[in-house]
């Protein structure tokens, strides 16, 4: 913003320091947690001084918010798409697959960050982190399409939507490839939606 980027220059000390800072922050927040990461940690990895971060961000929380603004509006898009579809139970599988498959390998970063910082969403001011609410809205919209709308089935549907999260967590401390994670999540989502749409379920005893 302050200086036009030098064309073709590979200078790393340019105006993209902010971008690098966000990348570093995302990684450290994921590895050590938001609270467990100090501004000094971030600054040190950037090779700059702690105070210099305040030139790019208003404070630590501002970094966090920037991280959320950075990401796409997948949940919002999905909600909009779902709402303009005809009401049909078949929509359940399609919508859930759409969601899970939207997580390309590079987007798994976000999931991992959330897995490491589950409480951050609540601590964030008002609507800074819309993901939670939006995904909730999607879940509600889809739940209305369930043949049997029991609590248990509603929960199973939610679990289907959150299959990527579950897959990522199940793969923690493992050397499994990201492609495998996404594939397993997709299969899991299919299965969970399927049993959620089975008409009144039989409780085995």
Partner DNA sequence: GTCTATACGGTGATAGAC
Partner DNA sequence: GTCTATCACCGTATAGAC
Partner touching 51 among a second copy, DNA, none, CB below 5 to 8 Å by kind? DNA
Q: Which two tokens stand for residue 9?
A: 């220059």
Helix, coil or strand: residue 19: helix
Taking the least distance from each CB to a second copy, the nearer of 62 and 119 is 119
Size of the site for DNA (CB under 7 A): 23
Residues 6+ apart with CB under 8 A from 61: 125
Shortest distance in whole angstroms from residue 122 CB to DNA:
17
Q: Which two tokens stand for residue 128?
A: 């800074």
DSSP labels for 36-94? T--HHHHHHHHTS-GGGHHHH-SSHHHHHHHHHHHS--HHHHHHHHHHTS---THHHHH
Partner touching 52 among DNA, a second copy, none, CB below 5 to 8 Å by kind? DNA
CA 113 – CA 194 distance, rounded (Å): 29
Helix, coil or strand: residue 175: coil
Shortest distance in whole angstroms from residue 4 CB to a second copy:
41
Shortest distance in whole angstroms from residue 62 CB to DNA:
7
Taking the least distance from each CB to a second copy, the nearer of 88 and 204 is 204
Binding site for a second copy (CB under 8 A): 32-33, 35-36, 115-116, 118-119, 123, 132, 136, 151-152, 154-156, 158-159, 161-163, 165-167, 169-171, 173-174, 176-177, 180-181, 183-184, 187-188, 191-192, 194-195, 201, 203
CA 193 – CA 181 distance, rounded (Å): 18
Helix, coil or strand: residue 16: coil
Which x/- pattern over 34-63 shows residues binding DNA (rule: CB under 7 A)? ---xxxx--x---xxxxxx-xx--xxxx--
Chain residues binding DNA by CB under 7 A are 1-3, 13, 15, 17, 37-40, 43, 47-52, 54-55, 58-61
């Amino acid at each position: 913003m302050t200086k036009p980027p030098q064309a073709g220059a590979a200078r790393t000390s340019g105006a993209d320091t902010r971008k690098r800072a966000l990348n570093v922050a995302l990684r450290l927040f994921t590895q050590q947690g938001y609270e467990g990461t100090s501004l000094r940690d971030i600054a040190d990895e950037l090779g700059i001084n702690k105070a210099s971060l305040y030139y790019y961000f208003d404070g630590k929380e501002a970094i966090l918010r920037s991280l959320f603004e950075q990401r796409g509006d997948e949940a919002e898009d999905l909600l909009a798409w779902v709402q303009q579809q005809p009401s049909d139970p078949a929509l359940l599988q399609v919508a859930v697959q759409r969601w899970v498959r939207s997580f390309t390998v590079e987007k798994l970063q976000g999931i991992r960050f959330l897995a490491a910082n589950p409480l951050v969403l609540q601590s964030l001011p008002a609507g800074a982190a819309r993901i939670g609410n939006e995904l909730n809205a999607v879940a509600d919209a889809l739940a209305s399409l369930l043949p049997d709308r029991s609590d248990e089935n509603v929960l199973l549907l939610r679990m289907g939507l959150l299959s990527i999260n579950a897959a990522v967590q199940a793969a923690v401390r493992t050397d499994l490839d990201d492609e495998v994670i996404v594939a397993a999540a997709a299969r899991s989502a299919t299965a969970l939606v399927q049993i959620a749409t089975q008409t009144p379920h039989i409780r085995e005893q």
